[in-house]
């Protein structure tokens, strides 16, 4: 594949500014819950919030962040915010309009990182050829928004290798991040390695297995055994497994005490045998949607 000459500005911004662990907000819409969890997160030292247009909580975040920043003596530039373009907002004209709305809802002059949430477009079948057309148009508009300073870096989410290859052949600004499902039961190693080779940061979501699969991972015998050795929880080991590979992680929770527990993952160093044991778990289970079916 011939790779286009690309601007590395987005990658530089992310490498300098993006923390390795953030607060995921998927399925968290209640203002009281968001306020309580982010308040605790800022108190502990978190400086990274992950949201998306499809999460329908950007406006709530926009209402609570000014007060929380003031409470914790922080400025806007002290925190890193990621949002994502909804599949319904892909395509020429739609993308820019949706990002401007995200800026308004978040009450911020800029967003640190904006991703294409999904390689497919709403109302198109997964095998429809226009999926490629719309995601190309969306990325081109993100490049323009970055030129305008409305967003500081850009990237993608749920992109498979074929999606990335097509993007790298035509993009002007190299994507800084590919955010994908990743946990010991779905290691996504080929995509992670491809991103590493191309200088794209691999970011893990659903590190604990996703809303409907958490218990399977937390009760995995290999994970539980390693957690006992480190006198910590299986959840912390799952997050540490990602961090120890150089991935950033985005655990989400509705519970304040889990915010502190997740933060401990930064302190865990897994040895070579532990990493090998986790990487040898035979059970394979994808907890979330499958982007490989999108052409």
Active site residues: 55
Strand order in the sheet with 154-157: 23-24, 48-50, 80-85, 113-116, 154-157, 177-181, 201-205, 248-249
Q: What interhelical angle do 161-168 and 189-198 show, nearest 10?
A: 20
Cα 148 to chain centroid, rounded: 23
Residue 128, marked binder: no
**Bridge-partner residues for 132, per DSSP?**
none
Q: Evaluate whether 48 touches 19 at the Cβ level (below 8 Å).
A: yes
User: Closest Cα partner for 44 from 218, 265, 209?
Assistant: 265
Binding-site residues for substrate, in ranges, read 117
């Amino acid at each position: 594949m011939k790779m286009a000459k690309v601007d590395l500005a987005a990658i530089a911004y992310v490498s300098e500014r993006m923390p390795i662990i953030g607060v995921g907000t998927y399925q968290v819409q209640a203002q009281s819950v968001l306020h309580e969890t982010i308040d605790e997160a800022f108190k502990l030292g978190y400086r990274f919030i992950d949201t998306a247009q499809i999460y329908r909580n950007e406006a709530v975040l926009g209402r609570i962040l000014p007060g929380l920043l003031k409470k914790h003596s922080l400025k806007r530039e002290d925190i890193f915010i990621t949002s994502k373009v909804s599949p319904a907002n892909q395509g020429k004209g739609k993308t820019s309009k949706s990002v401007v709305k995200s800026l308004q809802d978040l009450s911020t002059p800029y967003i640190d990182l904006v991703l294409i949430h999904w390689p497919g477009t709403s109302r198109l079948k997964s095998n429809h050829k226009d999926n490629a057309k719309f995601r190309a148009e969306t990325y081109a508009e993100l490049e323009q928004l970055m030129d305008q300073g409305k967003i500081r870096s850009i990237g993608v989410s749920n992109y498979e290798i074929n999606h990335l290859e097509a993007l790298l052949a035509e993009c002007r600004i190299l994507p800084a991040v590919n955010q994908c499902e990743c946990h010991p039961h779905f290691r996504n190693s080929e995509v992670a390695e491809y991103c590493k080779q191309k200088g794209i940061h691999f970011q893990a979501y659903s590190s604990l297995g996703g809303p409907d699969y958490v218990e399977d991972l937390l009760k995995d015998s290999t994970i539980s055994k390693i957690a006992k050795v480190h006198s910590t929880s299986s959840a912390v080991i799952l997050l540490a497994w990602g961090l120890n590979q150089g991935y950033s992680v985005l655990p989400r929770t509705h519970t304040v005490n889990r915010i502190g527990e997740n933060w401990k993952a930064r302190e865990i160093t897994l040895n070579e045998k532990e990493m090998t044991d986790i990487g040898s778990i035979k059970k394979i289970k994808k907890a979330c949607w499958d982007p490989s079916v999108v052409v």
